[in-house]
């Protein structure tokens, strides 16, 4: 059974916004591991439960090095992206106007 990120990844790739760049970035997400957070005495640490921090950092660096290379995205990135894309999917395109600032 596919884990949630993999299912989402598969669904995303079948969507109309699928493209090569995203396939190459997101497909390795299935290999990603869990992130666990500790909060001890107010000082916050984040560590992977079965991968070393340094390895996770390297994943992040690879992911960002060109945004097109094959890389493992930390699962937390996947979760954040999944949330943002889900919210973005609720925004209807309203046309060409854009006037974000109130005028006095």
Partner 1 sequence: MTLPQDLADATAVETVFAIAAGQISARERAEAALARIEADNTTLNAFTEVTRARALAEADAVDASKRADLSLGPLAGVPFAVKNLFDLEGIKTLAGSKLRQNADPAPSDATLVQRLTSGHAVTLGALNMGEFAYDFTGENVHYGPSRNPHDPSRMAGGSSGGSGAAVGGGLVPLSLGSDTNGSIRVPSAFCGIFGLKPTYGRLSRAGTFPFVDSLDHLGPMARSVADLALAFDAMQGPDPLDPVCNADASFVASLQSLEEAPQLRVARLGGWFRGQGEPASDTAADKVAQALGAVEDLEIDGVASARAAAFVITNVEGAALHLDDVRATPELYDPFVRDRLLAGALMPGVHYVRAQRARLRFQQRMAKVFERFDLLVAPTTPMSAPKLGAETVILNGTSVPLRPNIGIYTQPISFIGLPVVSCPVWSASVPYGVQLIAPAWREDIALGAAHHLQTAGICTAFFNNGAT
Binding of partner 1 at residue 69 (CB under 8 A)? Answer: no
Binding of partner 1 at residue 9 (CB under 8 A)? Answer: no
Binding of partner 1 at residue 5 (CB under 8 A)? Answer: no
Binding of partner 1 at residue 90 (CB under 8 A)? Answer: yes
Binding of partner 1 at residue 1 (CB under 8 A)? Answer: no
Q: Which helix (H) or strand (E) holds 44?
A: strand 43-48
C-alpha distances out from residue 2 to 35, 39, 51, 57, 79, Å: 18, 30, 20, 25, 15
CB 72 within 8 A of CB 61: no
| Site residues for partner 1 per CB under 8 A | 17, 22, 25-26, 35, 37, 39, 41-46, 56-57, 60-61, 63-65, 67, 73-74, 76-81, 83-85, 87-88, 90-104
């Amino acid at each position: 059974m596919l884990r949630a990120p993999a299912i989402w990844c598969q669904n995303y790739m079948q969507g109309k916004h699928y493209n090569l760049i995203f396939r190459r970035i997101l497909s390795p997400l299935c290999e990603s591991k869990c992130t666990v957070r500790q909060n001890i005495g107010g000082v916050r640490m984040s560590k992977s439960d079965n991968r070393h921090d340094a390895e996770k950092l390297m994943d992040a660096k690879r992911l960002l090095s060109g945004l097109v290379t094959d890389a493992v995205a930390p699962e937390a990135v996947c979760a954040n992206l999944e949330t943002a894309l889900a919210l973005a999917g609720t925004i209807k395109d309203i046309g060409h106007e854009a006037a974000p600032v109130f005028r006095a």
